[in-house]
Amino acid sequence: MNNRRKTELIIIHTSATPITMNIGAYEISKWHRAQGWLDIGYHFVIKRGGLIELGRPMEAVGAHAKGYNDKSVAICMIGGIDKDKKPENNYTVEQWDSLRTSLLFLNNIYSEAKVIGHNEVSKKDCPCFDVQAWLKMERASVDMIGG
């Protein structure tokens, strides 16, 4: 795997799995390798209970947003679809807390990076919530998240 030369974006993703499917980095890695990828495409995975798992090495080029992999870090939240496989913001309180923690951590390293949803650079529903609206709400209460 090659290392990124710059980090301009932190891109939030969904696993597009129902709430009953509490998978993690291991399962996603298996799916991605089955598609012929070197490994999991994301750098971090946030499980339903809030556990943050490591995916690709943080400095490595990811495989998660075509055209943006060489300048971004990826966080994948488990969930994001309902039982009929339609987009749904169904993340847990623990996941939101872990997302905040992850973004604060990454902001300390990549202070100039902008936080976006995958749907801001691709015609997808991913991550199944409006990242910019969420960030605006977060900033209103704590002005600490970069982007």
Q: Write down the catalytic residue from 13, 32, 47, 64.
A: 13
Is 76 catalytic? The answer is: no
pLDDT band at 128 (very low <50, low <70, confident <90, very high): very high
Is 68 catalytic? The answer is: no
pLDDT at 139: 82
pLDDT band at 101 (very low <50, low <70, confident <90, very high): very high
Rounded Cα gap, residues 144 and 95, in angstroms: 18
The residue among 147 and 114 whose pLDDT is bigger is: 114
Q: What is the mean pLDDT of residues 113-119?
A: 97
Is 126 catalytic? The answer is: yes
CA-to-CA dists, residue 112 to 29, 52, 115, angstroms = 29, 23, 10
Say what the pTM is: 0.93
pLDDT at 52: 98
